[in-house]
Amino acid sequence: MSAIGELVEGAGTSLAEVGRITKFFGRILGQIPAAVTKPGLIVDQIYNAGALSLIIIMTSGLFVGAVLALQGFLVLQRFGSEDALGGGAAIALLRELGPVITALLFAGRAGTALASEIGLMRATDQLTAMEMMAVDPIRRVVVPRFVGGVVAMPLLTLIFISIGILGAYVYGVGTLGVDAAPFWSQMRANVAVEDVTQGVIKGAVFGVACSLIAVYEGFTATPTAEGVGQATTNTVVNSAVMTLILDLMLSAAMA
Amino acid sequence: MSNNENIAPQRRAEAGDNIVEIQDVHYAVGGRSIFTGLSLTIPRGRITAIMGPSGTGKTTLMRLITGQIQPDQGRVLFDGLEVPKLNRKELYKARRRIGMLFQNGALLTDLDVFENVAFALREHTKLPESLIRNIVLTKLQAVGLRGAARFMPGDLSGGMARRVALARAMATDPEVLIYDEPFTGLDPISMGMIVRLVRQMNYALGITSIVVSHDVEELAILADASYIISGGKVVASGSFLELKDHDSEIVNQFINGLADGPVPFHYPASDYYEQLLAGKP
């Protein structure tokens, strides 16, 4: 009985949290028109979330593409279809690996930076100081960071996918000996517009989810060193879980 | 034109010579009572000190006045406005008339000193850049830090950060300046500078000052009137001389800095020897 009680209480707490995030999301959306009147702040945040994540995204993309080529080659070799490597790698990267791994890396790099930065601003009274100067911190601090993340994520996803395909080509053609011509021709023949669309849509949705989680965790962080640490951890864990749940939902919806 | 003209009539009360009025306020957090019938008034154009032992809710009182939190019961009036009843827009309008100096400065760490002072001007006005520059440099000159305009907050000492925060608080020429523990952790030179600046703000510009502190000596030379808060209520009020001769034990303990008295040295706990013999925490 107590276990059921705990379960019900846990479900109630989770539901309340969902309600709070939804309300917070509503406040962000309400402040976007006012925030875009200062585009400089948003551009700065696109740079912070996007440009500063480029190295980790590109490096990871290169290695994921190379590993995909290696594993794909070993499987395709059993069926004598090594020529399909280019198409297979591109589809896997576009539909799944690109958006999901980019979101996980984004949460680890940009998401944690956002959460800890906003959390520290909370802990050092900077957000309260803004409130006292009659400046809404949602408009001044949260919205530019949220929009920056939302714009950066699909771009990072496309860069990850492109570099991933390059990694697959370099390893597949350069090391495994797959012919370059069928690598590209198979890719052109088999990759459909829907595959690209799915990658971009997933990147955009994951961008909204991961950015929202990061700014929410930071904004609501307990104003202590431990609280900011907890907010950072929650950002990574919740973003990863949410990305994987949304991935299944989007894959099923767009199947 | 009054700043309060657009406020709904039911949220306006009569504003007299007192810019802030706290009437029978009750406030509890986490089941612990902070205020149990607190009442006080802050006269316009004067320096009023709010004193009391640590943990009596001095900062909480400032948060009530500025509408950051709401009382469970009672009224909080700012220039006749019922602060807890204001909506966000009205509250922000009222806050533009108040400057607040935070204990830690609370400077925006991604902006340099100049931009910190210019922050509210850029957010609330469409003044030309040349005018903003002149205002900011004037405020920084007043606190003696014009030469540090391009420093980042991380490069400043505690005293410098607080002076920059003061320049920022007065950038928009507020009617009321609230100082939350302005002397804590400062060396005597920085402390002297802050005392001088608080006085200047008050006498030269006619700004109402509310100083929350427990530094009795500094407040003795600074404040026109003081309140001592303890146990959720005002236990004494008046000039420093009146408080010094007050017959209340708690006022005597606080003003003279006695380690033990009505505010006990020991936090309530079980019997000392029994706990030692029990062998458990």
The total number of structural domains in chain A stands at 1
pLDDT of residue B200: 81
Residue of A133, A135, A228 best to disrupt the B interface, most CBs of B under 10 A: A133
Q: Is B176 helix (H, G, I), strand (E, B) or coil?
A: strand
Which one of B59, B102, B121, B122 makes the best mutation probe of the A interface by having the most chain A beta carbons within 10 Å? Answer: B102
Say yes or no to pLDDT of B10 above 50.
Answer: no
pLDDT at A148 over 60: yes
pLDDT of residue B192: 82
Closest to B3 measured CA to CA, from B92, B63, B64, B87: B92
pLDDT digits (tens, 9 = 90+) for A8-60: 888 888 888 889 999 999 999 999 998 888 899 999 999 999 999 999 999 99
- Looking at the complex, report in whole angstroms how far the Cα of residue A45 sits from the nearest Cα belonging to chain B: 12
Domain range for A190 is: 40-253
pLDDT of the residue at B202 = 83
Work out the average pLDDT over B156-165.
88
Question: Per mean pLDDT, which range of A40-44, A174-178, B11-15, B211-215 is the poorest?
Answer: B11-15
| Per-residue pLDDT band at B14 (split at 50, 70, 90) | very low
Contacts of A120 in chain B (CB under 8 A): 109
Eight-state DSSP code of residue A111: I
Tens of pLDDT, residues B216-274: 777 877 888 888 888 888 888 888 777 777 777 777 777 777 776 776 667 778 888 88
What letters, b where the CB count within 10 A reaches 16 and e where it falls short, cover A184-208?
Answer: bebbeeebeeebeebbbbbbbbbbe
CA distance A212 to A206: 10
Q: What is the mean pLDDT of residues A206-215?
A: 96
CB contact under 8 A, A129 and B66: no
Burial (CB < 10 A; 0-12, 13-18, 19+), residue B199, is middle
What residue type is assigned to position B281 of the chain? P
CB within 8 Å: A134 and B96: yes
Residue A89 within any structural domain of the chain:
yes
Q: Does A212 touch chain B (CB under 8 A)?
A: no
Residue B12 has pLDDT above 50, yes or no: no
User: CA A128, CA A38: separation in Å to the nearest integer?
Assistant: 21
pLDDT averaged over chain A? 93
Compute the nearest-CA separation of A35 from chain B (Å).
11
- Is the predicted pLDDT of residue B2 greater than 70, yes or no? no
Residue A206 has pLDDT above 60, yes or no: yes
Q: What is the pLDDT of residue B281?
A: 65
Residues in A 102-141 with any Cβ partner in B closer than 8 A: 120-121, 124-126, 128-136, 140
Conformational region of residue B238, where left means phi above 0, alpha means psi within -120 to 50, and beta covers everything else: left
The pLDDT score that the predictor gives to residue B105 is 86
Contact B72, B38 (CB under 8 A): no
Mean pLDDT along residues B46-51 = 90
Q: Check residue A175 and report its DSSP letter.
A: I
- What average pLDDT is seen over chain B? 84
Pick from A121, A125, A133: which is nearest to B119 by CB?
A: A133
Q: Nearest-5° angle of CA B81, CA B82, CA B83?
A: 95
DSSP state of B175: S
- Which of residues A165 and B220 earns the better pLDDT score? A165
Sign of CA dihedral A120, A216, A132, B130: positive
B-chain residues within 8 Å CB-CB of A34? none
pLDDT at B3 over 60: no
CATH architecture of B1-97+202-281: 3-Layer(aba) Sandwich (3.40)
Strand, coil or helix: B38: strand
Cβ pair A232, A119 in contact under 8 A: yes
Angle B227-A126-B191 from CA coordinates, rounded to 5°: 50
A1: confidence class by pLDDT, cuts 50, 70, 90? low
Can you give the residue ranges of every domain in chain B?
Answer: 1-97+202-281
> Token pair of B185, please?
């952790």
Interface predicted TM-score (ipTM)? 0.80
pLDDT given at position A97:
95
* Per-residue pLDDT at B1 exceeds 50: no
Per the domain annotation, does A167 fall within a domain? Answer: yes
Q: Among the ranges A52-66, B47-61, B94-108, which has the highest mean pLDDT value?
A: A52-66
Selected residue of B100, B115, B121 to mutate for chain A interface (largest A Cβ count, 10 A): B100
H/E segment holding residue B178: strand B176-180
**Model-level pTM greater than 0.95?**
no
pLDDT value, residue B16:
60
Chain B residue with Cα closest to A122: B106
pLDDT at B217: 76
pLDDT of A154 reads 95
